[in-house]
Chain A
Amino acid sequence: MATVAPNQPPVVKIEGVCKRFGTGPVVLDGIDLSVSKGEFVSLIGPSGCGKSTLLRLIAGLTDATAGAINVEGMTPENARELMFFVFQDANLLPWRRVAENVELPLLLRGDVEEKRRERVAHMLDVVGLSAAATRYPWQLSGGMKMRVSIARALSVAPDILLLDEPFGALDEMTRDKLNEDLLAIRERDPFTGFFVTHSVTEAVFLSSRIVVLSANPGRVATVIDVPFGYPRAGELRETPEFLKLLGETTHALRAVRKH
């Protein structure tokens, strides 16, 4: 069962992080956040609050202008082996088939062909795309492409998974299904999750904690604890407790929007 491990040193520690692109406006100003192993943290906020930027800072895809980010005691760049990123766009290589896309991180880190094949077959099975293994990305629907992207991300069994609005372009039903699938996968192979989204429902359904950021500059406005345990079923969304928390979170978001 994937619960938050109490009294453990934080897996990700963000201290006083500021980010500014060149001489432009300050995108993030003094972010402090500690995340423990096994948590699932959503980052929500209005446009321009820097939630995607924060995610990319954790991933080490960009550097902080000030402050420090600590991943398992290392800098994000050094900790890359422990992490993987799921991009907004499925970001598949169009010239590679589905199976070849999933195996890419394994190929690049030097796994032998036998091991790669096994792992890819397993991952495709987990996301339910075994039948599509030989297809090309252009032959897939949006939801399927995103599942390939997730399969790829999980193929290296990362300790930390970073997802940047992965389901934003999909319709609600597909999104709900993929949310449930993601949690199911996490049950089997646990990871610490960071999730950027515009959907409050999604944030509440998936997370153990929700960080609400304000914009201009990006600051932590509120942190909301989500008391529901794991595993979570789809029906959770219709319970009164869920709807209450949904309302609270939406309220917190709206409060931030006023600025």
Chain B
Amino acid sequence: MNPMKRRLLALIPPALTGVVLIALWYAVKRIFEIPTFVLPSPDEILTAAWVERSVLWSAMMVTVRGALLGFLAAVGVGFVLAMALGFSPRIKASFYPYILVMQMMPVTILAPVFVLWLGQGLPSIVAITFMIGFFPVVANTTMGFISVDRNLQELFLMCKATRSQEVRYLRIPGAMPYFLTGMKIAGTLAPIGAIVGDFLAGGAQNGVGGIGYMTISYFSQLKTPALFATGLTACLMGFIFVGGVNWLHWRLLHAWHDSMVKKE
């Protein structure tokens, strides 16, 4: 019963803080007489969330789809690109500066260009999410391919391993921790990227779009409680996404890496 009790007790400080913050919220709203269209109260937001629940759910699904596809593209392309860059220093020197340039380019400039080329909606959103997420994967994974332990390389030399054997059995597994770090970062950026992409390039069917689109729509209608509810939905989506990616990270590494305790 004790560990259970302990876990419940640990919840008390944040719960109490939450109650205080909410009370403060109501107080500020009452004292300064802030109208709802400026700052809605928590119950108004929750009511709006309930009323708009099917719209918000669709919006989240639309955005999740964009985030997931963009994320997978970033991870897949990033990994392959990193392999190429890690394979030869000359390739790395030739291409890396351009990858950096792509990274530096602000998304707000790229977005309209994507829409021009790819059309509005999912393709552009995926492209934007990809752009935001792929650099961490490339940078980290390339590092991983290059940073192979010298001793392990010599081991493979002693085994008369071919280059492709070395890549398959040494470099790729060795790069995994780095790759997964990059993937975790991309996973944090993907939901944001998809929402931003939705703002800039998204669309709607019959008035229902992604999270970014619904934000604009509610804002222009002065439906501020619904606007905040959309924000909550975005948070929820972010948590689920990042949670999923973190789980994957743990699953692939926990056997031999993260839980490694330095003995000796």
Contact = CB atoms under 8 A, between A and B. Distances in A.
A178 B66 CA distance: 58
B263 A91 contact: no
A95 B257 contact: yes
A71 to B, nearest CB: 13
Contacts of A104: 155, 159, 169
B256 A136 contact: yes
Contacts of A61: 154, 157-158
A85 B154 contact: yes
Interface stretch (A26-34, A36-44, A76-84): A76-84
A16 interface: no
B12 interface: no
A109 interface: yes
Contact of B260 (A83, A94, A109, A141): A94
Given A94-B256, A141-B263, A169-B264, A85 B158 contact: yes
A108 B162 CA distance: 8
Given A87-B154, A108-B165, A95 B173 contact: yes
Chain B interface mostly: helix
Nearest to A94: B256
B221 interface: no
Contacts of A87: 151, 154-155
A12 to B, nearest CB: 16
B151 A89 contact: yes
Contact of B170 (A81, A93, A109): A93
B54 to A, nearest CB: 46
Contacts of B99: none
Nearest to B264: A142
B176 interface: yes
A80 B170 contact: no
A108 B159 contact: yes
Chain B: number of interface residues, binned into ranges: 20 to 34
B161 to A, nearest CB: 5
B261 A138 contact: yes
A105 interface: yes
23 contacts: A80-B158, A85-B155, A87-B151, A89-B151, A94-B257, A95-B256, A104-B159, A104-B169, A105-B159, A108-B156, A108-B159, A108-B160, A108-B169, A109-B160, A136-B256, A137-B256, A138-B256, A138-B259, A138-B260, A138-B263, A141-B264, A142-B263, A142-B264
Interface residues of A, number: 25
Contacts of A137: 256
Interface in B11-55: none
A81 B160 contact: yes
Nearest to A80: B160
A96 B261 CA distance: 16
Contacts of A81: 160
A85 B155 CA distance: 8
A108 B161 contact: yes
Interface in A58-81: 59, 61, 80-81
A141 B264 CA distance: 7
Nearest to B157: A61
B154 to A, nearest CB: 5
Nearest to A149: B155
B152 interface: yes
A189 to B, nearest CB: 18
Contacts of A169: 264
Given A93-B152, A95-B257, A142-B264, A83 B158 contact: yes
A89 B157 CA distance: 16
Of all A-B residue pairs in the complex, the 4 with the closest CB atoms, nearest first, are A138-B260, A108-B159, A105-B159, A136-B256
Interface string A136-170: 11100110000000000000000000000000010
A137 B165 CA distance: 22
A91 B256 contact: no
B255 interface: yes
B177 to A, nearest CB: 9
Contacts of A80: 157-158, 160
Contacts of B174: 95
A95 B176 contact: yes
